Amino acid sequence: MDVLRRKRAEKRNKRALMMNPYWKKEMAQLFSDVDKNRDGFLTIEEMINNTRPLKVHCNAPEYKMEALANAYKEFWGHVGLKPGRKVGKTQFLKGLSKLGREELDREAAGVPTLHSRVSHALFDIIDANNNNRLQKKEIAQWMAASGLNPDNADKMFQEADRSGKGYISRDELIEAEFCSFFHPEKCMTQLGVKVV
Handedness of CA 71, 120, 9, 32 (dihedral sign): negative
Q: What is the pLDDT of residues 56-113, one digit of tens each?
A: 999 999 999 999 999 999 999 999 999 999 999 999 999 999 999 899 889 989 999 9
Per-residue pLDDT at 61: 95
Read off the pTM. Answer: 0.84
Per-residue pLDDT at 60: 94
Q: Walk along the chain (196 residues) and give the pLDDT tens digit of each residue.
A: 456 655 555 555 445 588 888 888 889 999 999 999 999 999 999 999 999 999 999 999 999 999 999 999 999 999 999 999 999 999 999 999 999 989 988 998 999 999 999 999 999 999 999 999 999 999 999 988 888 788 888 888 888 887 889 999 999 888 888 888 887 766 655 544 443 3
Chain-centre distance for alpha carbon 73: 14
Within 12-142, strands assigned E span: 41-42, 87-88
Read off the DSSP letter of residue 45: H
Closest CA relative to residue 183, chosen from 11, 25, 18, 13: 13
Q: What are phi and psi of 41, to 5 degrees?
A: -135, 155
What is the C-alpha to C-alpha distance for residues 183 and 175, in angstroms, rounded to an integer?
10
